[in-house]
Structure 1
């Protein structure tokens, strides 16, 4: 008993109480299983981080793709509004210029060499129908050029000694005045008023008299002798006589008469389609003609009463 150390114990002998246990654990190498588990854990966390980053990028990319059509649509809408504003500004400027012209030069503006009436397609015709009315006006101007060229061709036919050349030249000269005035008053001005006021009465005036104009165009294109036309038949006679220059003018005259006929027929159909779409009827036209006649009679009676009362 006396010879035994009471503090001696196997557990204390195997370990040093002053050693750092943490250092011991740190110095102990990882075994195969623990190293593999930690490596797998680190790889898994890295891949999870990478996947989360890629999903963020994909989400932002899809959001950008979704926003691109919206941005393009907004840009297109802005461009459309800018074009509308520019067109409206041009209309306002044209109206202002027309108002200034009326204030300085007077209201009547047609014809320019001797103004008798006021006529302005941008100011009086609705925008949707301005193109149609402008085409009809160009057809009327082309008619004036056709009549002039037809007269020159008939004059050369007379000089070339073509039979009935004098009659053709005389009638063609009369056409230059009568057809010019009649075509403007009987079919162009009515269709102008029709699109401006949307009244059935004016459409019927146009349909009747422009129908005669279509027939007249094809009739003149045929070129019967003594009818004042340098059309097809007279053209053949001129070429048979060896008059090349007169024949060339007859070719142009014939072509222009055919253009008159076909172009007038095309717009006749176009105006008729618009007439049906607007729901105009013959009964409306009759009622408008009657009311217009009544108003005219009332104005005449009032004018006559005012004149007689002033005499007294």
Structure 2
């Protein structure tokens, strides 16, 4: 038979009735409160921490991605980039074809030179009517230069066959002139004066003045005919006639005459173009500004083309 004293129980003997109830709950072993609704605040935080730890553990122990899937994804990405590059290249080709079609529609097809057209050139279509005669005369002078170079080469070749001293050197140099002078004269003074009258830009006039000035000096130099210079001009002509080589001498006469025509004809139209230049009010400052602007524009075009090319390779 138990005593009626309620303080005889060990639970109340071991507990201070004046102590904090929260402290009492914290001191009670966790195993004693498993599954009970009256668990304390601290115990609840312990269980929540335990749940978070379990979640982190589950995340870190997730299965790694499959290497085969990664390889397939990389292959698909590479194939996608390749198709994008092909589409970009095709788009550039279409744009270039459209630009060429527009140029042909407005200007016409390339027509110069006739045996292998590289550029479009038409004096009636591109040069103002008031200046077409001047440009045609300058063009004829350029064509005459081609004939002069060819005849000069034939004369130098006959000089070699006639045994004229330094005939081999003259023939070799004259052959080189047929290619270099032909290209240089077209690019450096005929095409600039053509563009000058077409666009009325100061920089083209200055290109013409500089390089056509050199051409005029070269024509008079060739007309003199110094030995070993590739010229069948005056001095070599005298040597050929002294050697009784009549046919070679006649060719030298024609060559000498044509070189003088180049020199004096070039001087006449040089003066004519310069008068037009002054009448239009062109200045050297305008030419410098146009050269600078053209250089900047070309640099921008090259940068854009380079950027498009490099972006297409990425």
TM-score range, shorter chain: 0.5 to 0.7
Report matched runs for 1:82-161 at 5 Å.
107-161=109-163
State the distance in 2 between where 1:140 and 1:229 align: 18
TM superposition shift of 1:140 = 0.2
2:11 matched residue in structure 1: none
Matched, 1:200 2:214: no
2:45 matched residue in structure 1: none
State the distance in 1 between where 2:212 and 2:242 align: 35
1:229 matched residue in structure 2: 231
State the distance in 1 between where 2:249 and 2:310 align: 63
State the distance in 2 between where 1:308 and 1:146 align: 48
Q: Return 5+ residue gaps in structure 1 as ranges.
A: 1-101
TM superposition shift of 1:176 = 0.4
2:278 pairs with 276, 279, 284, which one? 276
Report matched runs for 1:178-217 at 5 Å.
178-217=180-219
2:248 pairs with 231, 246, 249, which one? 246
Q: Return 5+ residue gaps in structure 2 as ranges.
A: 1-103
CA deviation map 1:156-199 (0-9, x unaligned): 00000000000000000000000000000000000000000000
1:97 matched residue in structure 2: none
State the distance in 2 between where 1:216 and 1:250 align: 17
State the distance in 2 between where 1:167 and 1:282 align: 41
TM superposition shift of 1:308 = 1.1
2:179 pairs with 177, 180, 205, which one? 177
Report matched runs for 1:7-22 at 5 Å.
none
Matched, 1:297 2:299: yes
State the distance in 2 between where 1:229 and 1:281 align: 37
1:306 matched residue in structure 2: 308
TM superposition shift of 1:107 = 1.3
TM superposition shift of 1:106 = 6.1
State the distance in 2 between where 1:229 and 1:146 align: 11
